[in-house]
Amino acid sequence: MAQEDTFKKIVSHCKEYGFVFPSSDIYDGLAAVYDYGQNGVELKNNIKQYWWQSMVLLHENIVGIDSAIFMHPTIWKASGHVDAFNDPLIDNRDSKKRYRADVLIEDQIAKYDEKIDKEVAKAHKRFGDSFDEALFRQTNPRVLEHVAKRDALHARFEKALNDNDLQELKQIILDEEIVCPISGTRNWTDVRQFNLMFKTEMGSTADGASTIFLRPETAQGIFVNYLNVQKTGRMKIPFGIAQIGKAFRNEIVARQFIFRMREFEQMEMQFFVRPGTELDWFAKWKETRMAWHQALGFGAENYRFHDHEKLAHYANAASDIEFRMPFGFKEVEGIHSRTNFDLSQHEKFSGRKIKYFDPETNESYTPYVIETSIGVDRMFLSVMCHAYQEEQLEGGETRVVLRLPAALAPVKLAVLPLVRKDGLPEKAREIMDDLKFHFNCKYEEKDAIGKRYRRQDAIGTPYCITIDHDTLTDNCVTLRDRDTMQQQRVKISDLRSLIEDKVSITSLLKKLQ
Ligand code: ATP
C-alpha cells in the first residue's frame, strides 16, 4: 500500500475510533486545530505521564511547574520572539496558496535524496548479495551527479538562511524550477517574513487594554520562574525544570493532520548547568531522550538525529530526533543548547539579578541551559503511525489492529461476558469492579464475541477477557492477547498480577534505568 494511502487510513481511523476529531466538526472544522476524543485523550495522557515520570520521578534534580499561558508582553521582546519568530512565506499567484519558502526548498533537497536512494535500490536488485553499497555510492556517476546538485543546493540554502536573504530564497525556488503542487506553475510572489505569534487583548479598553501574546513555546514560562524554583526548591546546579502545556503558532502552512497544528501541546525541560559544561550535557540529553523514544520498541531504524547547521539566535548546538512517519523522517523532538541567552535577556529586560552562586567554585554566574522540547501531538502521531496495521488472517479475513505499547493503550483490559444472560454480565461486572482500581477496563456486552475482539483490536486494547458459563463454576476466564490472538484459561484471582505489570508506565520507566 502506498504510504500516502496508509496515512489517509490512519487519519480516518483516528476519527472513526474516537482518537482525534477536527475541531468544531459540526461547523466543518477549523484549519489545523483538532480535538482529542475518548480514546485519544487516554493515549495522550499516557504519553504525557510517560514523559513526566521519566523526567520528574527518575531524576532527583528535575522538578515540574505549570506556568500560565498569558505572560507579560515584555517576555516575548526579551526572548527575541517579537523580532525574530518568523517564517519566510511565499504565495503562488495562480493557486493563491501560501507556502513556507524554506519548506519548499527542503522538499527539493529531499527529492535529490530520494533519487539517490532509488539508484541504490535499483543497483541492489541488479547485483543481489554481492552488492557493495558504499562503493556504489562513491563511484556511480548518476549518484555522484545527484549528490553534487544536492550539496550545492544545500550550501546555497544554508547561506541564504544565515544571511536572512529573502531575495536569494526566492531565486533558489526559481532556479530549481520548483512548482506549486496545486497549480503546477512557477508564478511566485516575493518571499516575506511572517511572525507566528497570536495576539490578543487583555483588560477592557476603558482600563487601557494591553496587547499580549499566546505563548508560542512553554520554555519562557520556565525561564521566568528560574529564580522562584531555584530559591524555594533550594536547587543546586545542575538541575532541571519540566513543564507540559499548550503552545500556539499561527503556522503558515498547516498540513499533515496533527503534525503541524496552530494550537498544540509541548513537553519541555530546561536543564541549568555550569558554563563550559553545556556541550557535555547536550550530548548526554541527546542520548537520554533517544533512549526514551526507543524504549517504546518501535525499532531503532525508525529514528535518527538531525544535527542543525543553522542555529537559532540563542543556540550553540541543536539536534532533532526524527521519526520515520509515512511521509518521511520528520522532527518529533528538538534538543537545544541555548547558552545563557534567555536568562541573560530576562535579566536585562526585567532589571532583576538572575544569577546562581555556585558553592563549589565560589563563583556567581548565569547558568547555561540545555533544552529538550517535544510535541505531545507529534509524539501521538508517531505512535499511531507505527501502531496502525492491517493484517491478513487465515481464511482470507483482515483485521485492523493498533499495536500500541501496552503502557500507552487507552484501555488495558476489555471485560466481555459471552452472552447477555445466565448471570454472566453480573459476574463480569464483579471482576471489573475489582480490577478498575488498578488499570483502565472497559465493559462490553453488545455483538458477537468476534466482533467485540475486533473493536478492541482497533483501539489497541492489549487484553480481553471472556466470561463464559464455566466461569461461574471454575472461576476462570479466557484471556486473549491482542498481538498473538492467543487465548488461555486463567484464574480470575491471577488476572491482576498477569496484567498490571505489563500495562503500567512503570514497565516502560524500568527500561530507562
Ligand atoms: P518545525 O521546524 O517542524 O516547525 P520547530 O523546530 O519550530 O518545528 P520547536 O520550536 O523546536 O519546533 O518545538 C519543539 C517541538 O514542538 C517540535 O519538535 C514539535 O514536536 C513540536 N511542535 C512545534 N511546532 C508544532 C506545531 N505547529 N504543531 C505540533 N507540534 C509542534
pLDDT tens, 162-177? Answer: 888 999 999 999 999 9
Continuous H helices in 188-296: 219-223, 226-232, 278-294
Name the residue with the closest Cα to ligand 1, atom 9: 334
Mean pLDDT of 42-51: 98
Nearest ligand 1 atom, CA 333: 18
Mean pLDDT of 291-296: 97
Whether residue 460 is predicted with pLDDT greater than 80 in this model: the reply is: yes
CB of residue 471 inside a 6 A radius of ligand 1: no
262-292 pLDDT per residue, tens: 999 999 999 999 999 999 999 999 999 999 9
| Contact residues for 481 (Cβ-Cβ < 8 A; gap 6+) | 462, 463, 487
Residue 401, burial from CB neighbour count under 10 angstroms (0-12, 13-18, 19+): buried
Residue 54 DSSP class: I
> Rounded to two decimals, what is the model's pTM?
0.89
Q: Look at the chain and count its residues.
A: 513
Mean pLDDT of the chain: 94
Q: Identify the CA nearest to 459 among candidates 9, 20, 39, 12.
A: 39
Whether residue 484 is predicted with pLDDT greater than 80 in this model: the reply is: yes
| Measured distance CA(314)–CA(337) in Å, rounded | 8
Mean pLDDT of 314-325: 94
Q: Which of 155-164, 277-286, 314-323 has the lowest mean pLDDT?
A: 155-164
| Ligand 1 pocket test, candidate residues 331, 342, 380, most atoms within 8 A of CB | 331
Mean pLDDT of 127-132: 87
CB of residue 382 inside a 6 A radius of ligand 1: no
Query: Taking the chain, what is the end-to-end CA distance rounded to the nearest angstrom?
Result: 38
Per-residue confidence (pLDDT) for residue 434, from 0 to 100: 96
Per-residue confidence (pLDDT) for residue 53, from 0 to 100: 98
Calculate the alpha carbon distances from 298 to 19, 378, 404, 409 in Å. 20, 15, 10, 15
Whether residue 250 is predicted with pLDDT greater than 60 in this model: the reply is: yes
CB of residue 260 inside a 6 A radius of ligand 1: yes
Q: Which residue has the cell 476519527?
A: 15
Percent of all residues in the chain with a pLDDT value above 90, rounded to a whole number: 87
| Contact residues for 394 (Cβ-Cβ < 8 A; gap 6+) | none
Expressed in angstroms and rounded, the spacing between residue 375 Cα and the centre of ligand 1 is 6
336-394 pLDDT per residue, tens: 999 999 999 999 999 999 999 999 999 999 999 999 999 999 999 999 999 999 999 88
| Measured distance CA(465)–CA(453) in Å, rounded | 10
| Contact residues for 255 (Cβ-Cβ < 8 A; gap 6+) | 32
Per-residue confidence (pLDDT) for residue 267, from 0 to 100: 98
Please enumerate, as own/partner, the contacts of 494-499 that have beta carbons within 8 Å and a separation of 24 or more. Answer: 495/413, 495/431, 495/435, 495/465, 496/434, 496/435, 496/438, 499/412, 499/413, 499/435, 499/439, 499/463
Whether residue 72 is predicted with pLDDT greater than 90 in this model: the reply is: yes
Q: Identify the CA nearest to 42 among candidates 510, 466, 401, 441.
A: 441
Q: Which residue has the cell 531524576?
A: 59
Q: How confident is the model at residue 311 (pLDDT cuts 50, 70, 90)?
A: confident
Angle at 356 between CA 355 and CA 360, to 5 degrees: 150
Task: Compute the half-sphere exposure of residue 104: CA atoms within 13 Å on the CB side of its CA.
Answer: 29
